[in-house]
Chain A
Amino acid sequence: MQTIATLQKGEKGIIQEFDIARVPLKLIEMGCLPGNTVELVQFAPFQDPMYININDCYVAIRKETAIHISIKKITQ
């Protein structure tokens, strides 16, 4: 399954439906909603946390959250 955690640096994806119980409301409020684009901007060492751009909003989240948000990779 493709999730935010499977993205490589610079890759983008479209957010799919996800289990809202596993994703903090705060992230949803920042624009982590199905249909929006997500881009992986930067990894910290050990690929955790991940610095992402969702819906033009730049946030860092931990890998443990990222693996619950499924996406569809955009191939350029």
Chain B
Amino acid sequence: MSANILKVALIGNPNTGKTSVFNHLTGLNQQVGNYPGITVEKKVGFCKLSQHQRAKIIDLPGTYSLNASSFDESVVIELLMNKNGEDYPDVAIVVSEVENLKRNLLLFTQIKDLEIPTILVINMSDRMKRKGISIDVDVLEKELDTKILLVSSRTKKGIESIKTLLQNSKSLSSDSCLDSSIIDKEYFDRLEKVFPNQSLYKLWLVITQDVNFGKVEKNEIKEKASFATKSNSELKRLQHKETIARYKFINDVLKKGYTVDKSKARDLRSVFDRILTHKIFGYVIFFSILLLIFQAIFDWSSVPMDFIDASFASLGDWVSHTLPAGNFTDLLVDGVIAGLGGIAIFIPQIVFLFLFISVLEESGYMSRVVFLMDRIMRRFGLSGKSVVPLISGTACAIPAIMATRNIESWKERLITILVTPFTTCSARLPVYAILIALVIPDKRVLGIFNAQGLTLMFLYILGFASAIIAAHILNKILKIKSKSYFVVEMPNYKLPMFKNVFINVLEKTKSFVFEAGKIILAISIVLWFLASYGPGEKFINAEQIVKNEVENSQFSERELDDKIASYKLEHSYIGIVGKTIEPIIRPLGYDWKIGIALATSFAAREVFVSTLATIYSVGSVGDEDETIKDKMRQEVHPSGKKVFNFASGISLLLFYAFAMQCMGTLAVVKRETNSWKWPLIQLFGMSGIAYIAALIAFQLLK
């Protein structure tokens, strides 16, 4: 089988439409995973070339050259350098773009130097006419010693010819197209003498790159060739010379086969930029877009959310009436279904968020936001590029923290990583949504604003504000010297392609639901066990004890059953845990049941709702089709006061706004910062702030 699978690597600059080509080649037949040990996203897909042959296509992270300056870029080099690696490609497809061909070819000439059979795809060829560009493919093929395909991922033109060409991959040239050793002839001659059978360019990369592939190899070079050690500034000077040499070659080639008639070019860039990067309108538009996003999250998604909530409630009801009563049915209804309902409910919100983010990125607008916001963000020790993680953080902090990788300055990046979890992620949404619905009246303020919507908006602003303030403080405290530079490409404006947006939203939502779903499901089941069993006489004889207590009172059978169930819960394992921590959280206005939910949601915030769902389902024999919200509304303290009142509700909202309750995020921070120090600072720092804020709020409001 494996003999008939051709391994293909897709390589290219960012913004060349590489992922569109990948999506066309593989369709939905793709998997997103991680490269081992690091959190760089690895996208692999399969494509049928012929009856007998398939291609395994790897979409490598976008890079401008093989001189890595980030994690993402070093993945590309590692993969292309390791001949014995599992994913070492049989063929490299370099995706370039018709308007930026000159810059794209820099990477192409480097890939050619690695002596991998290479195809050059020139994408966005549908723009050629509009931009007055003409290309002589034959001349370029000859000069660059490769096969060239003009492709338009927008109109799908040329996609089939990629497949055809891959079938004949044996015919592709694997020679390099220029001699880069001319930059320091003497040096490279000596290298060649010591390593006669090695590719000189590969050696050069091993020497210059600070990448993982080669601690051993690198030392070997140093040992064998003592002269090979050059100072960093000398190496950089040589890399500069190398770049000049490559551009000279590229310019000569393009003179022969690439012409632009500027008089025919029509440019939308300047028209859009004049408005979107305007000193005033630029910001007005950006904040309007943010408002629109929040409107979608809270308002538009409420209809599908209510539907999902009700569906799970009636599913639970149906199961409990259909299956025979017993432990298994209880586990299914109160553990599994209640837990799954707790996660499924916020799919609509995640979909909206990722939809907006991927449209903004695809269109090229996100770079303009980075440009507009850089100066303001820098004041707080952040970078303009921190805007993207902070906005993505409203969906989920995990991908947001990974999105900090393109921030070049380590200090700016670290601060962004540390403050991103303050932004309101979608896992907080179900908690906020249910608490707001319970404690904030559903009425209009000032005629037009909905009080519940305003509260949510305030919590979002609170999230951003605390991120910014925390960044400002960290910027003052942290004494890290790091070279700071900032280079952001401003891509052309493009109409987002439906297929790309769709696949992106689908992938992100899927991985989020599965990742969070695993944790929630596991916790729900464990919780159910802990809530349904208990030690000692009190739990086992609950029925008798309660009956004796209320012997003389007039209770209906249903009320009596409820009393027994909640007595059992109180003396179950989880009840004992809750009672133990109650003294710590009582000053915040919470009872022991909320305490359990608080404790479990240190795994993941959204577990709060499903925990309460499990606890209240176990603790009552009421109709299963009651929603969680109804059950929470009916909860009262022994004194008769509602458990979820204004003071305890606000206190809980604030606790969730600040506390660092997400194991997934802590794990990612640990990986990205390569130390336990930072995630622990986050965990204790943020949760400490949360406790104090909740304490003050409850004591003032009660």
Nearest opposing residue in chain B for A48, CB measure: B375
The answer to whether B486 and A61 have CB atoms under 8 Å apart is: yes
Determine the main DSSP class of B at the interface with A. helix
Chain A residue, CB-CB nearest to B248: A33
Q: How large is the interface on A (under 10, 10 to 19, 20 to 34, 35 or more residues)?
A: 20 to 34
Residue among B239, B269, B279, B371 making CB contact with A49, cutoff 8 Å: B371
A49: chain B residues at CB < 8 Å are 371, 374-375, 384, 486, 488
- Contact indicator A20/B487 (Cβ below 8 Å): no
- A21–B485 Cα gap in the complex (Å)? 12
- Contact A29/B64 with A44-B371, A45-B279, A62-B374 known, Cβ cut-off 8 Å: yes
Q: Which B448-463 residues have C-beta < 8 A from chain A?
A: none
**A residues 17-35 with Cβ under 8 Å of B?**
20-21, 24-31, 33
With a cutoff of 8 Å between Cβ atoms, the chain A residues found around residue B237 in the complex are: 20
Interface residues of A in 55-74 (CB under 8 A from B): 55-62, 64-65
Give the chain A neighbours of B372 by CB distance below 8 A.
44
With A44-B374, A45-B375, A51-B277 known as contacts, the answer to whether A59 contacts B67 (CB < 8 A) is no
Bound Cα distance from A45 to B370, whole angstroms:
13
Which of B99-107, B614-622, B660-668 makes up part of the contact surface?
Answer: B99-107
**Chain B residues positioned under 8 Å from A59 (CB to CB):** 487-490
Residues of A within 8 A of B67 (CB): 25-26, 29
Please judge, given known A-B contacts A21-B233, A24-B408, A31-B102, whether A60 and B371 are in contact too, CB under 8 Å.
Answer: yes
Contact A26 B487 (CB under 8 A): yes
Residues facing A in B309-329 (CB within 8 A) are: none
- Cβ of A42 under 8 Å from chain B: yes
- Which B337-380 residues have C-beta < 8 A from chain A? 367, 370-372, 374-375
Query: Which residue from B99, B100, B244 sits with its C-beta under 8 Å from A33?
Result: B244
Question: Which chain B residues lie closer than 8 Å to A64 at the CB level?
Answer: 484
Inter-chain contact B490/A60, CB cutoff 8 Å: yes
Q: List the A side residues contacting B489 at CB < 8 Å.
A: 30, 57-59
Please give, as numbers and ranges, the residues of chain B lying within 8 Å of A29 by CB-CB distance.
64-65, 67, 103, 106, 243
User: Are B100 and A24 closer than 8 Å at their CB atoms?
Assistant: no
Is the CB of B69 closer than 8 A to any CB of chain A? Answer: yes
Q: B142: CB under 8 A from chain A?
A: no
Known pairs A31-B247, A33-B247, A46-B375; A20 contacts B69 (CB<8 A) = no
B623 interface residue (CB < 8 Å to A): no
- CB-CB nearest in chain B for A58: B490
B494 to chain A, nearest CB (A): 14
Q: Is B273 an interface residue (CB 8 A)?
A: yes
* A44–B485 touching, CB < 8 Å: no
Is the pair A41, B273 in contact by a Cβ cutoff of 8 Å? yes
Tell me the smallest distance from the CB of A61 to a CB of chain B, in Å: 6
Contacts of A26 in B (CB 8 A): 64-65, 67, 69, 408, 485, 487
Residues of A within 8 A of B247 (CB): 31, 33
- Are B485 and A56 within 8 A (Cβ)? no
* A57 partner residues in chain B, CB cutoff 8 A: 100, 102-103, 489
| Complex CA distance for A51 and B372, rounded to whole angstroms | 10
Min C-beta distance of B125 to chain A, whole Å:
17
Cβ–Cβ < 8 Å partners of B374 in chain A: 44, 48-49, 60, 62
Using an 8 Å CB-CB cutoff, how does the interface string of B597-628 with A read, 1 for contact, 0 for none?
Answer: 00000000000000000000000000000000
Name the contact of A24 in the complex, choosing from B99, B485, B490 (C-beta under 8 A): B485
Q: How far is the CA of A26 from the CA of B65 in the complex (A)?
A: 8
B 372-409 binary contact with A (CB < 8 Å = 1; else 0): 10110000000010000000000000000000000010
| A26 to B485 CA separation, bound complex (whole angstroms) | 10
In the complex, A62 Cα to B384 Cα: how many Å?
10
Contact B236 A21 (CB under 8 A): yes
> How big is chain B's contact interface, by range?
35 or more
A62 touches B485 (CB 8 A): yes
As a 0/1 sequence over residues 225 to 249 of chain B, the CB contacts with chain A under 8 angstroms (1 = contact) are: 0000000010011011001100100
Q: Which of A26, A27, A57, A61 counts the most chain B CB atoms within 10 A?
A: A26
Tell me the bound Cα distance from A51 to B276 in angstroms: 13
Q: B367 to chain A: which residues have CB within 8 Å?
A: 60
Contacts of A62 in B (CB 8 A): 374, 485-486
In the complex the two chains form, what is the Cα distance from A24 to B69 in whole Å? 10
Q: How far is the CA of A42 from the CA of B514 in the complex (A)?
A: 44
Q: For the complex, what is the distance from the CA of A51 to the CA of B277, rounded to whole Å?
A: 10
Residues of chain A within 8 A (CB-CB) of B243 are: 25, 28-29, 33
Residues of chain A within 8 A of B236, CB atoms compared: 20-21, 25
Give CA–CA (A47, B233) in the complex, Å: 31
Complex contacts, A60 vs chain B, CB 8 Å: 367, 370-371, 374, 384, 486-488, 490
Q: Which residue of B lies closest to A55 (CB)?
A: B102
Complex CA–CA separation, A60 to B366 (angstroms): 13
CB-CB under 8 A from A44, the residues of chain B are: 277, 371-372, 374-375
Chain A residue contacts of B69, Cβ below 8 A: 24-26
Nearest chain A residue, comparing its CB with the CB of B489: A59
Q: Closest Cβ of chain B: how far from A36's Cβ, in Å?
A: 9
Measured between beta carbons, the chain B residues less than 8 angstroms from A21 are 233, 236
A51 to B485, CA, bound (A): 15
- Let me know if B240 and A56 touch, CB within 8 A: no
Q: Which of B255-285 contact A (CB under 8 A)?
A: 269-270, 273, 277, 279
Give bound CA distance, A48 to B69, whole Å.
23
Closest-CB distance, A50 to chain B (whole angstroms): 9
Nearest chain A CB to B481 CB, angstrom units = 15
Cα A45 to Cα B373 in complex, Å, equals 9
**Contacts of A31 on B, CB cut-off 8 Å?**
102-103, 247
- Pick the contact of A25: B103, B233, B239, B371 (CB < 8 A): B239
Closest to A26 in B: B487
Write the nearest CB–CB distance from A54 to chain B, whole angstroms.
Answer: 10
Measured in the bound complex, the distance between the Cα atoms of B379 and A40 in whole Å is 24
Nearest chain B residue, comparing its CB with the CB of A46: B375
Question: Given A28, A45, A51, A58, which contacts B240 in the complex, CB threshold below 8 Å?
Answer: A28
What are some 20 contacts across the A-B interface (CB < 8 A)? A24-B69, A26-B67, A29-B64, A29-B106, A30-B487, A31-B247, A33-B243, A42-B273, A42-B371, A44-B371, A49-B371, A49-B486, A49-B488, A56-B102, A57-B100, A57-B103, A57-B489, A58-B489, A61-B488, A64-B484
Residues of chain A having any CB pair with chain B under 8 Å: 20-21, 24-31, 33, 41-42, 44-46, 48-49, 51, 55-62, 64-65
Q: Which 6 A-B pairs have the closest CB atoms?
A: A58-B490, A24-B485, A60-B488, A60-B371, A62-B486, A29-B65
Extra inter-chain contacts (20) besides given A20-B237, A26-B65, A51-B371, CB under 8 Å? A20-B236, A21-B236, A24-B69, A25-B240, A25-B243, A26-B67, A26-B69, A26-B408, A28-B240, A29-B67, A30-B103, A33-B244, A42-B273, A49-B374, A51-B273, A58-B490, A59-B489, A60-B490, A61-B486, A65-B487
